[in-house]
Amino acid sequence: MKRRSMRRRVGVIMGGSSSELSAGHAVAEALSARGHEVVRVSLGESYGPDLASVVQKARIDVAFLALSGRLGEDGCVQGMLELLRIPYTGSSVLASALAMDKLKAKEMFRLHNVPTPPYYTVAVDADLSDLEGQHGSFGYPAIVKPRGEGSSQGVSRVTNLAELRAALEQAFEYDDIALVERFVTGVEINVAILDGQVLGSVEVATPKAMLEGPNAELVKVVLSPQRERGVQNLAERAARALGCTGAVRVDLLVTAGENEYVLEVNTLPALAPDGLLARAAAAKGYDFGALCEAVLDSAKLNQPARRKPPVDAIATAGFRQATAPVAMMKSVG
């Protein structure tokens, strides 16, 4: 377990659903109780263009991200914090964007030999007059997902052509590209990782709930120790394939046929006192406050500052470059 970090002025930036806001407030209370000066930046359901101004005025030393969905998880807020030179929790701009983009994440998984369910994509402007032929022998049931949304937004399970059409229309309300993924029968396992080390894994007892909301029941994994280690190793490989850092949750399916598939990687898992990360960390000796501080200690900037030439030198070089062709033309003339 890491030692207690020095006292800092921490901005807990939170937004999304009521449960996600509740988790953000829990983090703020835990860090405050451990002696940090905490500023709560609540963004509600949307992140306005004045966010950078709000964060600057808060004069924080570090940002603890308790966000979800577009703009929060996809690298946009992370990019803003890089420009403001404020260290933040979670993954880099690139890793956040890759993990949020289900298509690119799957492409990276395949590149790194990380098994993931078969899929194909459908664009919003595609000709769906022969959808049955396009779907072909892919089979049912299938899962339809927007390309760039969170775990449950716009996700549908379909069992026939009519449901597939309706699910695509629903997915297109969130994104211009939908993924149609083969349904894999198995047990859903969530693996919690912190700073590249597995904290633990739990089983989602009611996978259907993941399509309806964030309140799926979590129970202790019932796998042999050897297979659980294999699942956790696969989760680590998936996180590394995307370049994820800090606190990470990897969602996988484990089948009766001894196969495992990675569904997705969440770069900003909700940090609730009764959530997956807290349960897994408790088994490693962390209470909730210590876990929040460990996540805080992982905060960093992922784009290092580079030494740059003085502004007047850049301006002079640009002036010389711009005027050189003119001088050449005069000499030729």
In this structure, what token pair is assigned to residue 128? 């769906």
Q: How many Å apart are CA 234 and CA 47, to the nearest integer?
A: 34
Q: Which residues contact 24 (CB under 8 A, 6 or more apart)?
A: 12, 13, 14, 15, 40, 42, 66
Burial classification of residue 287, based on how many CB atoms lie within 10 Å of its CB (0-12 exposed, 13-18 middle, 19 or more buried): middle
Ramachandran class of 196: left when φ > 0, alpha when ψ lies in -120 to 50, beta otherwise:
left
Quickly count: other Cβ atoms within 10 Å of residue 315's Cβ. Answer: 10
Question: Is position 266 annotated in a ligand binding site?
Answer: yes
- Four-CA torsion 134, 211, 113, 159, nearest 10 degrees: -30
Contact 71, 47 (CB under 8 A): yes
37-42 and 9-14 strand pairing:
parallel
Q: How many Å apart are CA 37 and CA 28, to the nearest integer?
A: 9
Q: How many Å apart are CA 323 and CA 156, to the nearest integer?
A: 60
Contact 101, 150 (CB under 8 A): no
Three-class SS of residue 187? Answer: strand
Question: Is position 173 annotated in a ligand binding site?
Answer: no
Question: Is position 264 annotated in a ligand binding site?
Answer: yes
Residues in the annotated binding site for Mg(2+): 251, 264, 266
Residues in the annotated binding site: 251, 264, 266
